[in-house]
Amino acid sequence: MRSTSEQILLLLKSKGPASTRSLAEQLGVSRQGALQQLEKLETEGLVQYDLERQGVGRPSRSWSISAKGQDRFPNTHAQLTVELLDAVRAEFGEAGLERLVQRREAATQAGYRQAIAETADIAARLDRLTRLRAAEGYMAEWRPIEDGYLLIENHCPICAAAAACQGFCRSELAMFRALLAPASVERTEHVLAGARRCAYLVRPWTSSSSST
């Protein structure tokens, strides 16, 4: 079972900034108990806060996970991966690196496609895909919204590799589009662009949208 401090880090990672009161309510602990854990995490450099004024009275703290706190979540073999990518680029050039990315995309997509082969409904496929991504460390989730669905990845376990070779990000978007067709998929938030997560808007095609 996760400790309270671990649960706080997970909540801030997956849900974004939150007040002390909100975190206490989500954890089922007292506000003072949550504050003690937060201040301890702040001392360790794992969380930080901004002051937000809401109406009359003292401003409240809005807590968020720090860069050091982000490092608590796995970035799969980051240094080794970056070194291997640099070696491939040096040996085979950008074209060779792109072929590597495409091969990885094809293999990953084939595995996903087999796992969702019997799910014709987009929501069902999205649910299956999200479970697969979550098992791989992406902290993935999805939810219906007014004009479609939102696919969220709260963590990127290959972030260092994606920063070194952004072909991985292009590949991921292309793969989601292939797996979730007939639907349009657009990336609306991107970790490498400074967002705290990657998010994708999934809109099922309609007869009117497919004819335009």
| 176 pLDDT more than 70 | yes
Residue 158 CA to its chain's centroid (Å)? 11
Indicate if 102 and 203 belong to the same structural domain: yes
Q: How confident is the model at residue 79 (pLDDT cuts 50, 70, 90)?
A: confident
pLDDT score for 210: 47
What's the mean per-residue pLDDT of the chain?
Answer: 90
The model's pLDDT over 82-124, given as tens digits with 9 standing for 90+, comes to 898 999 999 999 999 999 999 999 999 999 999 998 888 999 9
| 31 pLDDT more than 70 | yes
**Least confident interval from 101-115, 135-149, 193-207:** 193-207
The beta strands (E) that lie in the chain are given as 18-19, 47-52, 60-65, 140-145, 148-153, 183-189, 198-204
Domain count, the chain: 2
Average pLDDT over residues 56-83: 82
- Token pair of 149 as six digits: 């669905």
Helices 78-115 and 167-180: crossing angle in degrees, nearest 10, is 10
Q: How far is 62 from 72, CA to CA, in rounded Å?
A: 20
Indicate if 106 and 204 belong to the same structural domain: yes
Q: How far is 13 from 96, CA to CA, in rounded Å?
A: 35
Average pLDDT over residues 51-66: 83
Q: How confident is the model at residue 205 (pLDDT cuts 50, 70, 90)?
A: confident
Task: For the chain, report the end-to-end CA distance as a whole number of angstroms.
Answer: 52
Give the domain-ending residue among 43, 70, 97.
Answer: 70
| 186 pLDDT more than 70 | yes
- Domain extent, residue 185, equals 78-210
Indicate if 86 and 8 belong to the same structural domain: no
